[in-house]
């Protein structure tokens, strides 16, 4: 069946270091991928997205990489800050109609 | 611009009862999606509505249903509640933003079934 999974359930990094969160997806038909951040007591918040015709997209302190060959997605956070501590979800969807499949989530801890 | 609002925020129901949750999307957004979030299953897609029509559906039993009104507000209904329906129910609205199809989530409704 369709699934989007994460390799690491938890990640602990030192403040100022770079963080890398990985994700695997299984649906080759997905053409749109998104990363969300969820803080305690809140709904997921959009971070960055990428379409399948791209390999890399950069935002403010974040970069998403897409490797369609191995169906792998990663989120890189530069100079990680305590405010980045949250659960991060990758998600796959299609731009033709909106069914989004979420991964299990990775909890990021940032040590001051 | 006001964000996505969901009511109620918290709800306690008994097995066998039914429940209706409400979602008001961001003004101008025509797509509303519903998700169920549990510690064991994570975020699971329930269904998506666009212009009052269900456009996509996840793998949930028929006890879970929804609808969307002409003002894009949406409701979801769960009938014959089971203990396993206890979860955070999230609503997200979206609108094509040119280069992204960004979804904005509400704070969720925490449903507890006893």
Q: Which of B39, B59, B16 is nearest to B110 (CA)?
A: B39
Of all residues in chain B, the one with the smallest CA distance to A37 is B105
Q: Is A89 on the interface with B (CB under 8 A)?
A: yes
Is the model more confident about B101 or about A73?
Answer: A73
Q: How far is CA A54 from CA A47, A51, A65, A82, in A?
A: 17, 6, 9, 30
Residue of B43, B100, B107 with shortest CB distance to A42? B107
**Segment A79-87 mean pLDDT:** 96
- Token code pair at residue A102: 């979420």
Q: Which of B57, B78, B54 is nearest to B67 (CA)?
A: B54
**pLDDT for the residue numbered A31:** 87
DSSP state of A54: -
**pLDDT for the residue numbered A111:** 93
Confidence category of residue A3, pLDDT binned at 50, 70, 90: very low
Chain A residues with CB-CB distance to B45 below 8 A: 99-102
Of all residues in chain A, the one with the smallest CA distance to B106 is A43
Interface A-B: count of C-beta contacts within 8 A? 59
Query: Per the CB < 8 Å rule, is B101 touching A98?
Result: yes
CA distance B46 to B98: 26
Is residue B77 within a helix (H) or strand (E), and if so which, with residue range? Answer: strand B74-78
Chain B residues with CB-CB distance to A43 below 8 A: 4, 90, 92, 105-108
CA distance A50 to A47: 11
When scoring A88, A89, A100, A107 by the number of chain B Cβ atoms within 10 A, the one with the most, hence best to mutate, is: A100
Please give chain B's pLDDT, 114 residues, in tens. 679 999 999 999 999 999 999 999 999 898 899 999 988 788 999 999 988 999 888 999 999 999 999 999 999 999 999 999 999 999 999 876 555 677 899 999 999 999
Q: Is A106 on the interface with B (CB under 8 A)?
A: no
Of all residues in chain A, the one with the smallest CA distance to B30 is A98
């Amino acid at each position: 069946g369709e699934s989007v999974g994460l390799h690491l359930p938890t990640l602990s990094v030192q403040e100022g270091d770079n963080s890398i969160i990985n994700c695997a997806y299984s649906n080759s038909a997905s053409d749109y991928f998104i990363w969300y951040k969820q803080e305690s007591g809140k709904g997921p918040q959009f971070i960055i997205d990428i379409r399948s015709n791209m390999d890399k997209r950069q935002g403010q302190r974040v970069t998403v990489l897409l490797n369609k060959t191995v169906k792998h997605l990663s989120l890189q956070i530069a100079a990680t800050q305590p405010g980045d501590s949250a659960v991060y979800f990758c998600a796959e969807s299609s731009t033709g109609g909106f069914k989004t499949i979420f991964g299990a989530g990775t909890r990021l801890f940032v040590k001051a | 611009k006001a964000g996505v609002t969901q009511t109620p925020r918290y709800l306690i129901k008994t097995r066998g009862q039914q429940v209706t949750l409400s979602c008001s999307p961001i003004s101008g957004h025509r797509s509303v999606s519903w998700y169920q979030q549990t510690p064991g299953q994570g975020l699971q897609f329930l269904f998506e509505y666009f212009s009052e029509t269900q456009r996509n559906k996840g793998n949930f039993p028929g006890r879970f249903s929804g609808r969307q009104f002409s003002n894009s507000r949406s409701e979801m209904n769960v009938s014959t509640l089971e203990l396993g329906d206890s979860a955070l129910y999230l609503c997200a609205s979206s609108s094509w933003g040119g280069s992204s199809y960004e979804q904005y989530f509400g704070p969720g409704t925490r449903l507890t079934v006893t």
